[in-house]
Amino acid sequence: MVRFEPLTSPEPLFPKPKSGGEGRLVVVSNRVPVPSASGSPAAGGLAVALNAALQQRGGFWFGWSGKVSEEETPLEVHDFGHVSYAVTDLSQRDIDEYYAGFANRALWPVCHYRLDLTEISANDTAGYFRVNEFFARRLATLLKPDDVIWVHDYHFIPLAAYLRQMGFENRIGFFLHIPWAPYDVSSALPAYQTVLSGMTRYDVIGFQTRRDLENFTRCLEQENMAREVGGGCWEADGRTFRVGAFPIGIETDLFRQEAREAKSNSLVRRMRASMEDRHLIIGVDRLDYSKGIRQRIAAFSCMLERFPQMRNRVTFLQITPKSRSEVPEYIRMQHEVAEQAGWTNGKFGDVDWTPVRYINKAVSRTSLAGLYRTARVGMVTPLRDGMNLVAKEYVASQRGTDPGVLVLSRFAGAAAELDSALLVNPYDTEATANAIVRALEMSLEERKERWRAMMDKLRANTVDHWCASFLSVLAQERACLSSDAAERQDDGALEPAIGRTAAHFGGSWTGYRRN
Ligand SMILES: O=P(O)(O)OC[C@H]1O[C@H](O[C@H]2O[C@H](CO)[C@@H](O)[C@H](O)[C@H]2O)[C@H](O)[C@@H](O)[C@@H]1O
Ligand SMILES: O=c1ccn([C@@H]2O[C@H](COP(=O)(O)OP(=O)(O)O)[C@@H](O)[C@H]2O)c(=O)[nH]1
């Protein structure tokens, strides 16, 4: 690990790209998957795909260290070959206001259509913008003019605006992993116009689905903040940006392989041995109200009530690692889910059968792959979700000769691609209960047909495709110049994008200040 003072280091801090021509890639996200000391990379499709892109071009990943420090400590830099990981600590107040506050008590619920759970706090709002400015200042010390920056997720919406204000005209892309709600919902967000205008400072803005993209562009129109100039491009304050839907994928083949090899995994073997001849139904989610876990267990319970022949023939395994326990809404829902599971077991369980096995710990990716493959039914029923990778992982893990059935919420981003799943409205308990029975009783022929259709999609759009397609759009510097601007650039009237000062692009973005 190298430590340095960001503002005083005279030498370039990160390795140069492997090949000439392309600038380094700089990935920014709140959580940074720093490889272990031995150099083995963090698991997870997103981390693997972005690490591969970083390895290819050289570059670094920047974000929060996950640690609290009351002093402004130097950036921590971990070097692994062509790739570095630069992380900064935050103070407790910063974490409370930026992460637990505005990001997870305002942006997260609003983007998941939950105005009832949204907390509006002027301190949190100010903290979110202050911490973004802090991240931008720290990142600024590491940047070179031809770096291509890819910012991830709702924690960092205003980051580009601060970088632009400091004079950076690098290509900057933004990908939103969570949904973008329709105007009437998203406009309830505190500092809504500032957040929206912060988005317009990127060169490319990616969403998981067309629905999110359309919700976003309607917000731009409603606020009269940007005008469409064609080809997925918009213009605001004299600069253009491109918007698009880039549904994230998984490492489809690798996941399949892990599922095949998981037979020998001890957790999977223990689970199989304990099943006797019952069918397994599986749910895997962070403990988050957006995932619809309570509603799902209620639907399972309703199924046992209405179809007594299913009692003692199925086991529902719900794997739910705790998440964001510092946020009060998450504590409340922990109680609700535990109560629903306990109630179902009390009502239907027997001395030799526990209908719901509810587990609050994280399970490794290999074990998950094996459990998915064991399960006849995968229940992925969020009330709202950006994508939901579990849905894709469940399908990829199945045996082609005897696949299980995915019961999938219409409100998961994954439903746009996995439309051969049994699609349900998770608010409709009886219909979801019926779908579980339909999945359990589905013929082998129908299961295979549905599975093949979904596998075709998963093979066509892996996480590597997702990464490459976003980066290729981000690399197209001229793709969005309006025809006027393109002509002027051809005449030499416009300078190249890199190296321009903030003043060229309207210094109107002033960030958020508390009165
Ligand atoms: O970092 P945490 O606060 O512990 O939360 C974990 C992550 O949750 C969210 O995941 C989203 O991204 C997935 C991949 O694109 C997508 O499938 C899912 O629907 C989203 O909910 C969040 O967006 C991440 O930033 C968090 O790190
Ligand atoms: O015990 C667990 C639970 C979940 N996951 C992984 O966490 C990710 C969850 O992603 P998803 O898009 O479904 O939801 P998010 O938590 O990002 O909102 C998936 O890759 C899961 O395989 C895991 O590795 N172990």
Q: Is residue 504 part of a domain?
A: no
Q: Are 371 and 350 within one domain?
A: yes
CA triple 349-351-354, angle to 5 deg = 40
Quote the pLDDT of residue 506.
36
User: 47 CB under 6 A from ligand 2?
Assistant: no
Rounded CA gap, 199 and 186, in Å? 14
Q: Is residue 331 part of a domain?
A: yes
Q: Is residue 513 part of a domain?
A: no
Q: Is 324 left (phi over 0), alpha (psi -120 to 50) or beta?
A: left
Quote the pLDDT of residue 493.
35
User: 390 CB under 6 A from ligand 2?
Assistant: yes
**Which among 460, 476, 497 is the end of a domain?**
460
Selected catalytic residue, list 177, 203, 212, 285: 177
What is the chain's pLDDT, residue by residue, as a tens digit (515 residues)?
333 222 223 344 444 444 445 799 999 999 999 988 766 656 666 887 888 889 888 999 999 999 999 998 999 999 998 899 999 999 999 999 999 999 999 999 999 999 999 999 999 999 999 999 999 999 999 999 999 999 999 999 999 999 999 999 999 999 999 999 999 999 999 999 999 999 999 999 999 999 999 999 999 999 999 999 999 999 999 999 999 999 999 999 999 999 999 989 999 999 999 999 999 999 999 999 999 999 999 999 999 999 999 999 999 999 999 999 999 999 999 999 999 999 999 999 999 999 999 999 999 999 999 999 999 999 999 999 999 999 999 999 999 999 999 999 999 999 999 999 999 999 999 999 999 999 999 999 999 999 999 999 999 999 999 999 999 999 997 667 655 555 544 443 333 222 222 222 234 566 776 64
Boundaries of domain holding 52: 2-7+22-249+465-489
Q: Classify residue 189 as exposed, middle or buried by CB count within 10 Å of its CB (0-12, 13-18, 19+).
A: buried
User: 46 CB under 6 A from ligand 2?
Assistant: no
For 231-354, list the strands marked E by DSSP.
Answer: 233-236, 239-245, 279-284, 314-319
Let me know if 152 is a catalytic residue.
no
Q: Are 88 and 172 within one domain?
A: yes
Rounded CA gap, 67 and 1, in Å? 16
Q: Are 224 and 257 within one domain?
A: no
* Cα(370) to centroid(ligand 1), Å: 23
Q: Are 56 and 170 within one domain?
A: yes
* 365, 381, 408, best to mutate for ligand 2 pocket (most atoms within 8 Å of CB): 365
User: 323 CB under 6 A from ligand 1?
Assistant: yes
Rounded CA gap, 219 and 74, in Å? 39
Q: Are 74 and 146 within one domain?
A: yes
Q: Is residue 207 part of a domain?
A: yes
Quote the pLDDT of residue 396.
98
Cβ proximity of 249 and 463 under 8 Å: yes
Q: Is residue 174 part of a domain?
A: yes
**Which among 421, 442, 460 is the end of a domain?**
460
Q: What is the pTM of this model?
A: 0.91
Q: Is residue 339 part of a domain?
A: yes
Cβ proximity of 339 and 301 under 8 Å: no
Distance of CA 59 to the CA centre of its chain: 21
User: 178 CB under 6 A from ligand 1?
Assistant: yes
Q: Are 354 and 221 within one domain?
A: no
* Cα(418) to centroid(ligand 1), Å: 19
Q: Is residue 196 part of a domain?
A: yes
Q: Are 389 and 416 within one domain?
A: yes
Q: Are 210 and 272 within one domain?
A: no
Cβ proximity of 21 and 67 under 8 Å: no
Rounded CA gap, 185 and 193, in Å? 13
Indicate which CATH number applies to the domain containing 366. Answer: 3.40.50.2000
Which residues neighbour 19 within 8 Å (Cβ) at sequence distance 6 or greater?
A: 57
Q: Which atom of ligand 2 is nearest to the CA of 250?
A: 20
Q: Amino acid identity of 51? A: N
Torsion angle in degrees (nearest 10) through CA of 160, 161, 165, 170: 30
Q: Are 239 and 312 within one domain?
A: no
Let me know if 491 is a catalytic residue.
no
* Cα(368) to centroid(ligand 1), Å: 18
Q: Is residue 497 part of a domain?
A: no
**Number of domains forming the structure of the chain:** 2
* Cα(264) to centroid(ligand 1), Å: 30
Q: Are 242 and 285 within one domain?
A: no
Rounded CA gap, 313 and 436, in Å? 13
Q: Are 242 and 258 within one domain?
A: no
Q: Are 351 and 272 within one domain?
A: yes
* Cα(285) to centroid(ligand 2), Å: 6
